[in-house]
Chain A
Amino acid sequence: MAVQMLLVINKSGGLIYHRSLDAESDKGLNSNDYLILASILHGSFAIASQLTPKALQLSQSAAQNIDFTVPYIPYVGMPRGRRGGQDKNRSNSSLNSSQGKLGSFKGDDFFKDAFQSWNRSGVRQLCTDQFTMYIYQTMTGLKFVTVSSQGALSASHTGGSSNMHSVHVADNFLRKIYCLYSDYVMKDPFYSLEMPIKSTLFDQKVKQMMENLA
C-alpha cells in the first residue's frame, strides 16, 4: 500500500489536517475544496451507516458474526531498519535513538496486538480504478482518512481476502497516525481542540511514516 494523502476530520466534520506526499496530486484542489471534500465524506459516512442491507437488519446473528478484529500487521509504516531483529548493533544506533523513539510509546512499534475496529457500520473503504480511500474512526469521533494510489478495483480480481488485507493494513497504519496525533497534537499546549493542526512535529512524523510506506 502506497499512501498518497492523509486527512484528519474532527468530530463535527471539519477538516483539521491535510497532507499529500507529492505536490502533483494537490494541483486540482485548493484548501477550500479539501474542506468541502472532508465535510462530504463526513456526511456520506453518516448516510452509509443508515443504509444497512435488509438481511443484516433482520438477522441479529448475521450481524453478530461480522468480525471487526483488525489483526496486527508488523511494522506498517515503520522505518525498515527496525524490522525483524536487524537491530544487531543496538549500542551503535544509540546515537540516532532519539530519532527512532516513538514519542511516549515504548518499543520498536506502537502496538503489537490485534485490535477491534470502532467503525462498525460506516464507510471503511472506497475503491475506484484510480485510487482507494480508507477511513478509520476513533471512539471520540475523529476520522483519519488515507488515499492510496493503487486502484483496488483492478487488483480486486485476486480475491476478496486480499482486499480485506489492504483494509487491515490501512487500519494498522491509521491507528499509528492516531498514536502520533495523541502525542504531538494532544500534548501541544498551544493547540486548541477541533481547530486545524499547525504542528510541524506532527507534520514531520506523519510525512516520515507515509514515506516509509511508499
Chain B
Amino acid sequence: MSMSTPSKSLKVIGDDTWKNKTEKVNAELFTLTYGAIVSQLCADYDRDFQKVNNQLYSMGYNIGVRLIEDFLARTALPRCENMVKTSEMISKCAFKIFLNMSPQVANWSPEKDTFSLILDENPLSDFVELPMDAMKQLWYSNVLSGVLKGSLEMVQLDCDVWFVSDVLKGDPQTELRIKLNKVLKDEIPIGED
C-alpha cells in the first residue's frame, strides 16, 4: 500500500485548517442553540431522559453521516490504517476543526480497538447545570456520540460510542468511549487498495 507519510503532522493540519480554511461563528450562539434543543426535547418527552438520550443520539447520527463529507472535503486526508491513527485524526483534526478543541486520547484497551476521549472543555455544556431529576440519566452532550457513530460508519468503521462520565453529573471528567466492532471491508469503495 503506497501510503506516503503526510509531510505535516495531523496537529499542524488540524490547526491550519481550523485557522485559515474554516469560517467562524460565535461559540455562544452554538452553545445556546444546543441548549434550546435539549431543553425542548426534555419538555417534549415529559422528562423521560432515556428517550431524550436516544433522540439526541439519532440526531447526532444524522449529523455525522453528513458532516463526514465536510470533514473529508476540507482535509482530503488519507484513510487511517488503524484505530490509533483514527483516534489522533478525531482528536487533533475533527474536534479541532468543528469545535476548536483537542480532547485527550486515553484508556486504550489491550487489543487497541477501544479508546476514550477525555473532554477537558466541552463547548456544548458551557452555562449548564443539570436539574436534580436529570442528574442520574441524562447524557447532556449525547449528540456527540451520535455524530461520531454516524461519521465513522460512513468511512466503513462500525463503532459503538457512548458516554462513561460527565462533569455535569458530578464526575471528575467527561469521558466518551469509542469501541471498534468491525471494519466493513466489503463496503470500502472499490478503487482504494
Contact = CB atoms under 8 A, between A and B. Distances in A.
Interface of A: 11, 45-46, 49, 63-69, 101, 103-107, 110-112, 115-116, 118-122, 137-142, 175, 178-179, 181-183, 186-187, 193
Which range holds the interface residue count of chain B? 20 to 34
21 contacts: A45-B191, A67-B2, A68-B4, A101-B23, A105-B22, A107-B21, A111-B21, A118-B78, A120-B2, A120-B192, A138-B69, A138-B72, A141-B187, A181-B69, A182-B69, A182-B72, A182-B74, A186-B69, A187-B70, A193-B65, A193-B66
Contacts, number: 107
Please classify the interface of chain B as helix (H, G, I), strand (E, B), loop, or mixed, using the class held by over half of its residues: loop
B22 A139 contact: no
A67 B4 contact: yes
Interface of B: 1-2, 4, 6, 20-24, 65-70, 72-74, 76-79, 154-155, 187, 189-193
Given A66-B2, A107-B21, A193-B65, A140 B73 contact: no
Nearest to B7: A114
Please classify the interface of chain A as helix (H, G, I), strand (E, B), loop, or mixed, using the class held by over half of its residues: loop
B61 to A, nearest CB: 12
A115 B191 CA distance: 17
Q: Which of B24, B72, B79 has the most CB of A within 10 A?
A: B72
